[in-house]
């Protein structure tokens, strides 16, 4: 006959289990942090994730991904499939934290905290595995490669790893939110991140004989100024957009008017209507300025991920799960950064959150860091959310009111390999 634990003994046992999970996740996060790998090069990271999952007895699924891991827990009881996603790649940044577990690779750093995302999702896997026989359906774990290039989510979707998923959740660390808080917001949370390249072609000449030229630099200067009027004059003050020209390339010498100029930059929007409006005005203004100055202009769009747009019902479910694990729920300000999680939300209902990590610096900073107390909290939240949502979705046919089939226009080939969002 088994001995019954007293309340105090049970509490002590639970506390010891929590502490041992926390210590394990810190060790995992530090191992990943010391060994960052860039997008599409996450081979060692992939091997380690597989190893940790296999050690815990978690099923690894076989999809045609070069890097990244898809795994699954549950399924003994029929029910829906909930996906939890973490990104696993690092950035081309030279680390300057001085931490004992700082990057061992020059010019490579987990400067966006994807090491913490990966470790947290592994923690959720360990927790869910212990409750596998009780899960009312299946939890699919997506360790996604190449988020920084905005390609990874599309590769996961192309590999069919999202097939059969009823809802998907993901999160990003948020340095300016304290540990113990989570930002949950329905609707737009992160921006559509598009790029542009404008080519202006004129006629070169001696710099002292400008009348013989059609100067692309003067045309470009006017164009840059005119493009700023899109946000100030065409976008409603109640909506938002960013247009930044970030690079100008033209000319070879101080005494030669060049033949052509290249301008590139980025466009950020939260609303598909604003995104379309800004692009339309951008092209009209470019054509108009080009006509005025007699240059030939072409605009090439680099289509990035659409805006992260959170499902209302799933956001509410997440807020309940967050409170159940002791997190304080706040409504976060949207971020104009891009996030390829948005591609999943085009395929299935999804919600994305900001988890407080009390960081000393913003994303991509060389001294970026997270407060590791966030690791077990995030693992517990992910696990709680998946388990609650399986129960909630079981027996429901329609998940949400959003029309996810409405805009499937994001082609996997539309983003170049050098895009970092």
The residues binding Ni ion (CB under 5 A) are: 112
CB of 46 or CB of 286, closer to Ni ion: 46
CB of 112 or CB of 190, closer to Ni ion: 112
CB of 333 to Ni ion, least distance (A): 17
CB of 24 or CB of 29, closer to Ni ion: 29
CB-CB contact of 267 with 194 (8 Å): yes
CB of 103 to Ni ion, least distance (A): 16
CB of 73 or CB of 150, closer to Ni ion: 150
By the 10 Å C-beta count (0-12 exposed, 13-18 middle, 19+ buried), 363 is classed as: middle
CB of 147 to Ni ion, least distance (A): 6
CB of 118 to Ni ion, least distance (A): 11
CB of 26 to Ni ion, least distance (A): 20
CB of 282 or CB of 343, closer to Ni ion: 343
From CA 125, how far away is CA 240, in angstroms rounded?
Answer: 38
Give me the residue whose beta carbon is nearest to Ni ion.
112
CB of 112 or CB of 380, closer to Ni ion: 112
CB of 116 to Ni ion, least distance (A): 10
List, in sequence order, every residue forming a beta bridge with 351; answer none if it has no partner. Answer: 169
CB of 112 or CB of 153, closer to Ni ion: 112
CA distances from 64 to 10, 48, 159, 414 (A): 44, 18, 6, 21
CB of 34 to Ni ion, least distance (A): 18
CB of 351 or CB of 393, closer to Ni ion: 351
CB of 259 or CB of 340, closer to Ni ion: 340
CB of 82 to Ni ion, least distance (A): 22
> Can you give the three-state secondary structure of the chain, one letter per residue?
CCCCCCHHHHHHHHHHHHHHHHHHHHHHHHHHHHCCCECCCCHHHHHHHHHHHHHCCCEEECCCCCCCEEEEEECCCCCCEEEEEEECCEECCCCCCCCCCCCCCCCCECCCCHHHHHHHHHHHHHHHHHCHHHCCCEEEEEEECCCCCCCHHHHHHHCCCCCCCCEEEEEEEECCCCCCEEECCCEEEECEEEEEEEEEECECEECCCHHHCECHHHHHHHHHHHHHHHHHHHCCCCCCEEEEEEEEEECCCCCEECCEEEEEEEEEECCHHHHHHHHHHHHHHHHHHHHHHCCEEEEEEECCCCCEEECHHHHHHHHHHHHHCCCEEECCCCECCCCCHHHHHHHCCEEEEEEECCCCCCCCCCCCCCCCCHHHHHHHHHHHHHHHHHHHHCCCCCCCCCCCCCCCCCCHHHCCCCCCC
Select from 96, 91, 107, 40 the least CA-distant residue to 68: 40
CB of 216 to Ni ion, least distance (A): 37
CB of 114 to Ni ion, least distance (A): 6
Q: Pairing mode, if any, of strands 69-74 and 59-61? A: antiparallel
CB of 152 to Ni ion, least distance (A): 11
CB of 308 or CB of 319, closer to Ni ion: 308
CB of 112 or CB of 257, closer to Ni ion: 112
């Amino acid at each position: 006959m088994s001995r019954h634990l007293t309340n105090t003994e049970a509490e002590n046992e639970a506390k010891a289990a929590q502490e041992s999970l926390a210590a394990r996740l810190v060790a995992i996060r530090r191992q990943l942090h010391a060994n960052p790998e860039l997008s599409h090069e996450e081979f060692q990271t992939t091997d380690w994730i597989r190893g940790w999952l296999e050690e815990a007895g978690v099923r690894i699924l076989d999809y045609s991904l070069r890097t990244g891991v898809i795994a699954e827990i549950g399924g003994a009881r029929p029910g829906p499939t909930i996906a939890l996603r973490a990104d696993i790649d690092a950035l081309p940044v030279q680390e300057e934290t001085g931490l004992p577990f700082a990057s061992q690779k020059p010019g490579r750093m987990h400067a966006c905290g994807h090491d913490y995302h990966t470790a947290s999702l592994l923690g959720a896997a360990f927790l869910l595995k212990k409750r596998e026989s009780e899960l009312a359906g299946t939890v699919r774990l997506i360790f996604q490669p190449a988020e920084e290039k905005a390609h990874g989510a599309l590769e996961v979707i192309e590999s069919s790893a999202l097939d059969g998923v009823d809802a998907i959740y993901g999160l990003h660390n948020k340095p300016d939110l304290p540990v113990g808080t989570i930002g949950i917001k329905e609707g737009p949370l992160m921006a559509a991140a598009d790029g542009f390249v404008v080519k202006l072609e004129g006629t070169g000449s001696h710099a002292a004989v400008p009348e013989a030229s059609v100067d692309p630099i003067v045309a470009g200067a006017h164009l840059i100024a005119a493009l700023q009027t899109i946000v100030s004059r065409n976008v409603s003050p109640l909506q938002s957009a960013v247009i930044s020209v970030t690079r100008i390339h033209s000319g070879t010498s101080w005494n030669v008017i060049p033949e052509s100029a290249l301008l590139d930059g980025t466009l950020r929007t939260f609303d598909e209507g604003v995104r379309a409006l800004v692009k339309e005005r951008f092209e009209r203004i470019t054509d108009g300025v080009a006509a005025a100055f007699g240059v030939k202009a072409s605009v090439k769009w680099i289509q990035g991920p659409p805006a992260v747009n959170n499902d209302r019902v799933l956001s509410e479910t997440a807020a309940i799960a967050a409170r159940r694990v002791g997190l304080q729920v706040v409504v976060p300000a949207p971020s104009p950064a891009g996030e390829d999680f948005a591609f999943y939300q085009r395929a299935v209902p999804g919600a994305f959150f900001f988890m407080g990590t009390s960081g000393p610096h913003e994303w991509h900073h060389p001294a970026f860091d997270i407060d590791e107390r966030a690791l077990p909290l995030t693992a517990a939240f992910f696990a709680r959310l998946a388990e609650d949502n399986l129960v909630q979705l079981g027996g429901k046919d329609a998940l949400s009111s959003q029309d996810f089939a409405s805009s499937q226009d994001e082609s996997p080939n539309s983003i170049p390999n050098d895009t970092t969002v």
